[in-house]
Amino acid sequence: MRDEQVWQTLRELEELEQREDLQEGLWRISEETGLLFNLILRHSGARRILEIGTSSGYSTLFLADAARANGGKVVTCEMSEYKIGLAKETFAKAGLAEHIVLLEGNALERVDELDGPWDFIFLDGMKDEYIFYFSELWSKLRPGGLIVADNMISHEGYLGIEAYKFTVDCFEDAASVTVPIGSGDRFTVKLAALQKTAIDQDAEKHQGD
Ligand SMILES: C[S@@+](CC[C@H](N)C(=O)[O-])C[C@H]1O[C@@H](n2cnc3c(N)ncnc32)[C@H](O)[C@@H]1O
């Protein structure tokens, strides 16, 4: 990430969160996590990116910088009025507003509007709700796409987090790893259906001969 305007906005948000008169905690990802997301998105050329849990828009900037480079967009969901206002300011200051669609309101109620296919989905809302988003959005993730869930290490042992890991592991077309970065992020890739080779097909034809 080389855009000075984006970095300046990120630094301002880091300063803002130090203030004691903040109305609500911002609970952002780490800079390193954001950079990893940005790099993966650029590497994969992701254009359809979804985020649940915008807060101040700190993480969204890392996603949107890559979306801009790839000719895509980020859709991000937030329900707190205070944070919606903050995020709008953030997107304008960073010069990334035209690459972001901010869905205002309860994401649980708007998830059926979130038509796929998505290339990358970032879950960073309420931890107990991760399972709901996964079950609603998995079919809308393209094969080879990624779903990333935050707070896997910081909230290890919480019912919502453990239930999420268990549920995801039950899907045969999902492969996951938890990366010890920031609060701990679980990356889950949607496996593409295996293509049968001519040898497989021949073996099937002669089964029982
Ligand atoms: C951990 S913060 C997100 C931090 C942000 N991703 C970042 O790294 O800068 C979680 C946010 O999700 C929002 N949220 C939680 N449940 C939500 C829901 N059902 N619909 C919309 N927003 C939700 C909260 O208001 C909060 O701002």
Does residue 79 line the site of ligand 1, with CB under 6 A? yes
Q: Smallest Cα–Cα separation from 107: which of 129, 91, 128?
A: 129
Buried b (16+ CB within 10 A) or exposed e, 119-156: bbbbbbbebebbbbbbeebbebbeeebbbbbbbbbebe
Does residue 124 line the site of ligand 1, with CB under 6 A? yes
pTM of structure: 0.93
Does residue 34 line the site of ligand 1, with CB under 6 A? no
Q: Is 203 within the bounds of a domain?
A: no
Does residue 1 line the site of ligand 1, with CB under 6 A? no
What was the pLDDT predicted at 197? Answer: 67
What was the pLDDT predicted at 21? Answer: 84
- Atom 22 (ligand 1) nearest CA: 78
Q: Is 209 within the bounds of a domain?
A: no
Distance 56 CA to ligand 1 centre (A): 9
Distance 23 CA to ligand 1 centre (A): 14
Distance 199 CA to ligand 1 centre (A): 49
Distance 198 CA to ligand 1 centre (A): 48
Domain count, the chain: 1
Q: Is 200 within the bounds of a domain?
A: no
**Residue 29 alpha carbon, nearest atom of ligand 1:** 8
Does residue 127 line the site of ligand 1, with CB under 6 A? no
d(CA 111, CA 75): 11
Per-residue confidence of the chain (209 residues) as pLDDT tens digits? 999 999 999 999 999 999 988 888 899 999 999 999 999 999 999 999 999 999 999 999 999 999 999 999 999 999 999 999 999 999 999 999 999 999 999 999 999 889 989 999 999 999 999 999 999 999 999 999 999 999 999 999 999 999 999 999 999 999 999 999 999 999 999 998 766 667 777 787 877 77
Q: Is 107 within the bounds of a domain?
A: yes
Domain containing 76 — which CATH number? 3.40.50.150
Q: Is 201 within the bounds of a domain?
A: no
Domain that holds residue 138: 4-193
